[in-house]
Structure 1
Amino acid sequence: MIKRYCSALLMGAVALIHGALVQAGALDDAVRRGVLKVGTTPTYVPFEMTDKQGRIVGFEVDLLHAMSRALGVELELVAVPYTELLSGLMARKFDLIGSGMTVTQERNLKLNFSDSFIVVGQTVLLHPRLAGKVASIEDLDEAGYRIATTEGTTAQAAAQRFLGAARLSSFATPEEGVRQVVSGVADAFIHDAPYNLIAMTRPENQALLALEQPFTYEPLAFGLKKGDYDSLNWINHFLNQVAQDGTYDRLYDKWFKDTDWMAEVD
């Protein structure tokens, strides 16, 4: 009887420990490990990109560095293709997604999002031959137009939604999509407004035209596994704190108002 009672107590203790581990959030794991692992695709200028030394830098990366310092841990960026971010999170290859990800209803069914840290929208870059012919996204919805987007992004989804009559092609990186327009293979490229604005400043792209008014509303946020409300709570409070103490404004000015960083990026 005593032996059975002790066994029951032991099994109960094991169950409690197991339950505690299951309920531990991603940030709790990061603190225990001493490292915050973040999945990212470093092709989204100026949010995450690779500099000439091979380091991943950018506005969102700087936010993640500030987040790691607040947690008292190191930051480890895990670079994966954009289409593998969700599966990587589910497979616990990293603790959260920090990769310029737009909050959508479809994605929100598969993961939880933090509060948005910035709102962007899709804009259009045009080949010069379309000067005077295209003044809005609606003007591109014709079978004769070839539209380039980046695979797996909300730009691709927006093109499918607004440009059903046009011929759509997707590419692995936004740089490839822009090159399609520069070379004349495509008529237009659709991507987030911050990226397109900066792409227009590059010498090889300066002949392109732009429809600068965004035609979508897209909040960007950090993504975590569903049910990790403790981590979400901490991140949301962190975002509020950096918005209030001037950290966010300082980083925003560095990446969106100054241009010094461009000389360090390929």
Structure 2
Amino acid sequence: MKTIKILFIAVIVLVSGNLSAQERLSEIVERGTLRVGLTGAQPPFSMKAKNDELIGYDVDLANLLATSMELTLELVEMPFGELLPSLESGNIDMVISGMTITPARNVKTAFVGPYLISGKSILTKEKALSNATNAADINNNIKVVTLAGSTSEKFSKKHLDNVSLELVSNYDEAIQKIINDESDVMVADYPTCAYAMLRYPNHGMVILDRPLTIEPIGIALPNDALFINMVDNYIESLDAMGVLAVMEEKWFENPYWLLQLK
């Protein structure tokens, strides 16, 4: 696996040029700030606490990376669909926002990871739908809501052609639509569905026992070999030390952080 990563980085060096890679990383170091793009509205990856500070798995990961690089962290909030264009234009240095690594995205940008394995799931009040084992089981003239610009939107459009699909800008809005019976199903990554169950335990909502898909979550980076190499080394170190496992337990299994939310 390590050999494959080294070969991958070598290819990027040949394509982008070693000098430009050095200049790109030098710009970040000279600035002294690591600009990380995220939505701030993808619990438990990122969300606002009572004091309006951002918290979540991805926020913790961004802080760890910035500290390891001896840089000041700057969190840049924006809608999910604007993250990769902002990375491409150079307005941010990386994206850590519960982003699934897909071939379509990897064509345009590099990814480090995965730092987490997720998968598509559903949130619903319908007991029959909660027993779904594949997309066909929920493709039956119902109202579906999901996040615009996400792989959940792509999944829904590809597999759910017999539903009424609504796109929203954040998952809190989608969850409220399930609570208020305005939608029958929310399609989202499994951690987001699990978060809804933790936060709203008395609203009769259910999720799947197992995700419908298996999806790797990674950090999106510019095609900069030296920068990719550095971030990859830090992620591997955090994983080897067990830090990522501790963070996963904190944000996906332990409900106490919910007390920090508004």
C-alpha deviation, 1:257, in angstroms: 2.8
- How far, CA to CA, are the matches of 1:86 and 1:204 in structure 2? 34
Give the structure with higher Rg (CA): 1
CA RMSD of aligned residues (A): 1.9
Task: Spell out, residue by residue over 1:91-141, the C-alpha distance to the aligned partner (whole angstroms, 9 max, x if none).
Answer: 2111111111110111111111112100100111113xx333662132221
Output the CA distance in 1 between the equivalents of 2:155 and 2:200: 28
3-state SS in 2 of match to 1:101: strand
* Contact in 2 for aligned 1:124/1:212 (Cα 8 Å): no
Q: Assess, with a 3 A threshold, how the Cα gap between structure 1 residues 181 and 25 changes in structure 2: closer, same or farther.
A: farther
Aligned partner of 2:55: which letter?
V
Cα gap change, 1:258 to 1:25, in 2 (>3 Å)? farther
Q: Equivalents in 1 of 2:129, 2:175: separation in Å? A: 19
The residue number in structure 1 matching 2:3 is none
* 8 Å CA contact 1:182, 1:205 repeated in 2: no
Cα drift, residue 21 of structure 1: 6.5
| TM-score, structure 2 as length reference | 0.87
Quick one: which of 194, 204, 214 aligns to 1:217? Answer: 214
Contact 1:123/1:215 (8 A) holds in 2: yes
| Matched ranges for 1:84-163 at <5 A | 84-127=82-125, 130-132=126-128, 135-136=131-132, 137-142=135-140, 144-163=141-160
Q: How far apart in 2 are the matches of 1:234 and 1:187?
A: 44
- Determine if contact 1:26/1:96 at 8 Å carries over to the other structure: no
Offset, 1:79: 0.6
**Contact between 2:33 and 2:71, CA under 8 Å: does it hold in 1?**
yes
Q: Does 1:171 align with 2:171?
A: no
For residues 173 and 260 of structure 1, the distance between their equivalents in structure 2, rounded to whole angstroms, comes to: 23
Residues 148, 230 of structure 1: alpha-carbon distance in 2 compared, 3 angstrom cutoff:
same
- Paired residues, what number? 244
Structure 1 residue aligned with 2:249: 253
> Residues 62-89 of structure 1: CA distance to partner in whole angstroms, max 9, x if unpaired?
1111111111111100111111111111
| 1:66 to 2:64 alignment | yes
Letter in 1 for 2:97: S
In the TM superposition, residue 27 of structure 1 has moved relative to its aligned partner by 4.0
Q: 2:188 aligns with which of 178, 186, 191?
A: 191
* TM superposition shift of 1:164: 1.3
Q: Distance in 2 between matches of 1:166 and 1:198?
A: 24
* Residue pair 2:66, 2:73 contacting (<8 A) in 1 also: yes
Q: Distance in 2 between matches of 1:92 and 1:189?
A: 33
What 5-or-longer segments of structure 1 have no aligned partner? 1-18
Which letter does structure 2 place at the counterpart of 1:263? L
**Distance in 2 of aligned mates of 1:259 and 1:47:** 14
Other structure's SS at 2:114 match: coil
Aligned to 1:232: 228
Q: Is contact 2:130–2:206 with CA below 8 Å preserved after alignment? A: no
Specify whether residues 35 and 205 from structure 1 end up closer, same or farther in structure 2 by C-alpha distance, changes over 3 A only.
farther
Identity %, equivalent residues: 27
* Residues 94/166 of structure 1: CA separation in 2 closer, same or farther (3 Å cut): same
Structure-1 residue corresponding to 2:46: 48
| Aligned amino acid, residue 222 of structure 2 | K
Question: Aligned in 2, Cα 1:25/1:68: closer, same or farther, shift over 3 Å?
Answer: farther
- What is the distance in 2 between the residues matched to 1:121 and 1:26? 33
- Alignment partner of 2:52: what SS? coil
Aligned pair in 2 of structure 1 residues 169, 231: CA closer, same or farther (>3 Å)? same
* Cα deviation code 1:35-68 (max 9, x no counterpart): 1111111111111111111111111211111111
TM-score, reference length from structure 1? 0.86
Query: Matches of 1:63 and 1:232 in 2, distance apart?
Result: 16
Distance in 2 (CA, whole Å) between partners of 1:145 and 1:186 is 8
